Amino acid sequence: MRRYTFPLAILTWLAVWAALRFGVQPPIPVSVMGLYLAILTVSILVYLIADPERFEAFLAPLVSLLRERRLAVPRIAVLTALPLLLGWMTYSGVRPQFDPPFEARTIHPEPPAKFKLHGSDFDVLKAQRPPEMEANEENLAAGRRIYYRNCMYCHGDYLDGKGHFAEALNPLPANFRDSGTISQLEEGYVYWRVATGGPGLPQGATPWNSSMPVWQDFLSEDEIWQVIAYVYSASGSTARTWEGH
Give the whole-angstrom CA distance, residue 55 versus residue 89.
28
pLDDT computed for residue 208 by the predictor: 64
Give the whole-angstrom CA distance, residue 193 versus residue 231.
13
Per-residue pLDDT tens, the chain, 245 aa: give them: 677 899 999 999 999 999 998 888 777 877 788 899 999 999 999 999 999 999 999 999 989 988 998 999 989 998 899 999 989 988 887 777 655 555 555 667 888 888 888 888 998 888 888 889 889 999 999 999 999 999 999 999 999 999 999 888 877 899 999 888 898 889 999 999 999 998 888 875 556 678 889 999 999 999 999 999 999 999 998 888 765 44
CA atoms within 13 A of residue 212's CA, in its CB half-sphere: 21
**Cα end-to-end distance, the chain, whole Å:** 74
CATH value of 114-244 in 1.10.3720.10, 1.10.760.10, 3.40.50.1980, 1.20.1510.10: 1.10.760.10
Q: Which helix (H) or strand (E) holds 115?
A: strand 114-117
Which long-range contacts link 41-48 to residues 24+ away (Cβ below 8 Å)? 41/13, 44/9, 44/12, 44/13, 48/5, 48/9
Q: Which residues pair with 115 in a beta bridge?
A: 122
Domain ranges of the chain: 2-94, 114-244
Give the whole-angstrom CA distance, residue 188 versus residue 23.
37
pLDDT computed for residue 242 by the predictor: 62
